[in-house]
Amino acid sequence: MQPIVFSDFNPAQNALEESLFHTANGYLGVRACPEEGAPAGVPSIRGAYINAFYDIKPIRYGEKLYGFPETQQGIVNLTDVQNVRLYLEDEAFEPLKTGEVLAARRTLDMERGIVTRFIHWRSPGGREVEVTVRRMASLAQRELFIMHYTVKAVNFAGRVRLVSREEGAVTNFADPDDPRVAGEALQHLRVEEVRPLPAGGLIRSRTIASGLDLAVAVGYTPPASFTLGVQAQPTALEAVMEGSLWQGQSLTMVKHCVFADSRRHGDPAGAALRILAEASARPVLHYESLQKEMLAAFWRRSRVVVGGDDALQSSLDFSLYSLYCSVGRDAVSSMAAKGLSGEGYEGHFFWDTEIYVFPFFLLTDPALARGLLDYRHTILPAAREHARLMGHPTGALYPWRTISGSECSGYFPSGSAQYHLSGDVAHAFLQYYYATGDLQYMAERGGEALVETARLFLDAGHWHEGAFRIGAVTGPDEYSCVVDNNFYTNAGAQETMRGAAMMTRRLREAGLAGQLLAATGVTQEELAAFERAADAMYLPYDEKLGIHAQDDGFLKLAPLDLAAIPRENFPLLLHYHPLWLYRHQVCKQADTVLAHFLYEDLADEGIMRRSYDYYERCTTHDSSLSTCVFAIMAARLGDLGKAVDYFRQSATLDLDDAHGNTKDGIHTANMGGTWLAITAGFGGLRVKPDGLHLHPRLPDAWRAYSFPLTWRGSELRVHATPAGCRVELLAGDEQSIWVYGQPVRAALGQAAELPIPQ
């Protein structure tokens, strides 16, 4: 596997590289900020984050109406542990400001989980030094971040001083002109204690509004023969290491940093000091070895291989690695829109997780997928409260963006009106059941979520002219807001209500319905009402065009010539008033096209094709969630050349910074969509009530591709070559799956192979 390497020294893209080369483990994320700091004029967003560790801030309105959220949560920038200043005699190492950079390189080793920064620098005084910094967020010990700082004297000998600082007085990043990040820079941590230790120290802080505690413990292993002194300051710790370096000699300082928060630890300070003591007592190779083992297991379960395109392969590897390092691994966290790489969307969890990210984990690591569902079950009480606030006496309405469970969007037309969230969550629970057969989990958690979301849709809708309709909602396309009968939303509501009735029946038949009935009190009359509404669900369709309308009014709006809009005016949301967008046939992202992927049995291929062609002409792809869906459906419809083009756009979005905002963090949902484009698009993968379905197609541009799957506890690998589709059972029990509509038995040592249909 090839590492990701940037070897051009370009200070202008520093903030971008901070995102791309961040280190994370699902709990903790640290941006790849220059240890010596970034001078004025060099973009930098200095940050580190804990998944779902948040503060609360007020939402300010010019005019506030009933039910508008009064506060929102936002991810907190943590105590800064990245500061290391190097002095060669009296000269400071400042490659972004002075001197001459002779060579520079950043490397992400995705097999070892280590990021390396290398700089060969000549000071204004002529001293040459090579600095190599290795960083790792431990997958084995989630609270642990390790930094190796190595200095090599190239052409001089003399005194060297390292000054490392942990700063507790930090603020969050803000950009008042970009709605995708916070609009106001705030300090969310108040330092409560700075405690020096003989070889490190502890900083305890508390969030100002949410009252969450953070403890950061740091331990140093200084270079051999160097002195070490640690000093406490009002909001910071500073360690000074001094010694001599001969020409050609190297020295290394190791810094162990432990972050512990009160959402996971009853005593964060005690936990941080204990973990630090354990980590410091072990050689760093111990954690590096564990990291390599865990990543080897991950790649065995997850790696997609495309033959004939090395650049595309690297982008795929980067996407899947980033997903693994970003996903929450406990019931209080999920997958933020930017993972743990930046502050874009303020660390919020969206519907993106269930639709774009969840399928990857469901079919590669079901335990992690179950953890994502655990989070949604944990915030189910808050979803019930949100439904009551929105006027529903029953049911659960999941918020559009949240951390702790309450709605964080102050703009309800493209926020709270996205009722499809509840359908997306229900879809994930149903997909989990179909893929695992885990009826016990559905009895304990999934069934309750299904019943409550079904209740929400039943109350949100109404009967008119013999059909069940849902008014005043917003679908995934945020350029069309507060519409009647959004096709995507109604299709999801239909599946949710049918799924709730089906699951309740199965639990009763298995004698496992006790917990569900106690939690919800669902009655036979309610279940029958769910099914009646689902059977009569209104799905807007235009007879003249032969397509499903995005909603009741979309096809009546004024068309918009996207080609006539200057390229610098994209994304449109940054250059046009929302009402102007709402009055035109323009889509920010796939909406009806996405519905045809998720709920493909609702339309025949002719309708899908006509819908695809129609909506493609009016979709801007301003959302990173869009091109992957168009790739999936282009492959589904047999247009493999177009599918490859869309897939490439999706796969390279962050490494190419195609949307111009990767500096604020990577696009995790798009990365999940990239995996879906291969597996569900070219591979034709669908998880249905009757099992796993595959329909692989091979583009002319590729020699072959393959991907692993975990299905019912067994490990499979699917290969697509010019000779056909081959399914191997790598481990576990024999499995029966569907390939090209035919039942196939996958057994050890007996690869099932079928020719690709023409």
Per-residue pLDDT tens over the stretch 130-148: 999 999 999 999 999 999 9
| Tokens describing residue 49 | 């984050």
| Tokens describing residue 525 | 């009359």
pLDDT of residue 184: 67
Per DSSP, which regions of 7-79 are E strands? 23-24, 28-30, 48-50, 54-58, 71-75
List active site positions.
478
Enclosing H/E stretch for 373:
helix 366-378
Using the Cα atoms of residue 546, residue 547, residue 548 and residue 551 in order, give the sign of their dihedral. negative
Per-residue pLDDT tens over the stretch 715-750: 999 999 998 899 999 999 999 999 999 999 999 887
Helix (H, G, I), strand (E, B) or coil at 141: coil
Closest to 25 in 3D by CA, of 189, 258, 276, 215: 258
Per-residue pLDDT tens over the stretch 183-234: 666 899 999 999 999 999 999 999 999 999 999 999 999 999 999 999 999 9
Whether 20 has a pLDDT exceeding 90, the answer reads yes
pLDDT of residue 182: 66
DSSP state string for 670-735: HHHHHHHIIIIIIS--EEETTEEEE-----TT-SEEEEEEEETTEEEEEEEETTEEEEEEEESS-E
Query: Beta 704-711 vs 742-746: how paired, if at all?
Result: unpaired
Mean pLDDT of 706-710: 98
Mean pLDDT of 84-110: 98
Closest to 132 in 3D by CA, of 141, 145, 120, 143: 120
Overall domain count for the chain: 1
- Asked if the structure places residue 146 within a domain, the reply is yes
Give me the torsion for CA of 662, 628, 373, 266, rounded to 10°: -10
**Mean pLDDT score of the chain, rounded to an integer?**
96
Per-residue pLDDT tens over the stretch 280-319: 999 999 999 999 999 999 999 999 999 878 889 999 999 9
Q: What is the largest CA-CA distance in the chain?
A: 88
Per DSSP, which regions of 112-226 are E strands? 114-122, 128-137, 144-153, 158-167, 189-197, 200-207, 213-221
pLDDT of residue 67: 93
pLDDT of residue 752: 76
Task: Tell me the pLDDT band of 180, cut-offs 50, 70 and 90.
Answer: low
CB 533 within 8 A of CB 468: yes
Per-residue pLDDT tens over the stretch 594-604: 999 999 999 99
Mean pLDDT of 408-431: 96
- Asked if the structure places residue 656 within a domain, the reply is no
Per-residue pLDDT tens over the stretch 517-569: 999 999 999 999 999 999 999 999 999 999 999 999 999 999 999 999 999 99
CA atoms of 399 and 408, how far apart (whole Å)? 8
CA atoms of 468 and 473, how far apart (whole Å)? 14
CATH code of the domain in which 267 resides? 2.70.98.40
Per-residue pLDDT tens over the stretch 47-67: 999 999 999 999 999 889 999
Q: Which domain holds residue 43?
A: 22-297
- Asked if the structure places residue 74 within a domain, the reply is yes
- Asked if the structure places residue 108 within a domain, the reply is yes
Neighbours of 647 (CB within 10 A): 30
Q: How far does CA 541 lie from the centroid of its chain?
A: 34
CB 201 within 8 A of CB 194: yes
- Asked if the structure places residue 493 within a domain, the reply is no
Task: Tell me the pLDDT band of 488, cut-offs 50, 70 and 90.
Answer: very high
Helix (H, G, I), strand (E, B) or coil at 261: strand
Per-residue pLDDT tens over the stretch 583-633: 999 999 989 999 999 999 999 999 999 999 999 999 999 999 999 999 999
Whether 320 has a pLDDT exceeding 90, the answer reads yes
Enclosing H/E stretch for 463:
strand 461-464
pLDDT of residue 548: 98
Task: Tell me the pLDDT band of 472, cut-offs 50, 70 and 90.
Answer: very high
The DSSP symbol for 139 reads S
- Asked if the structure places residue 477 within a domain, the reply is no
Using the Cα atoms of residue 284, residue 288, residue 291 and residue 297 in order, give the sign of their dihedral. negative
Whether 178 has a pLDDT exceeding 80, the answer reads no
- Asked if the structure places residue 609 within a domain, the reply is no
- Asked if the structure places residue 489 within a domain, the reply is no
Closest to 632 in 3D by CA, of 657, 595, 607: 595
pLDDT of residue 277: 98
Using the Cα atoms of residue 316, residue 320, residue 325 and residue 328 in order, give the sign of their dihedral. positive
Whether 101 has a pLDDT exceeding 70, the answer reads yes
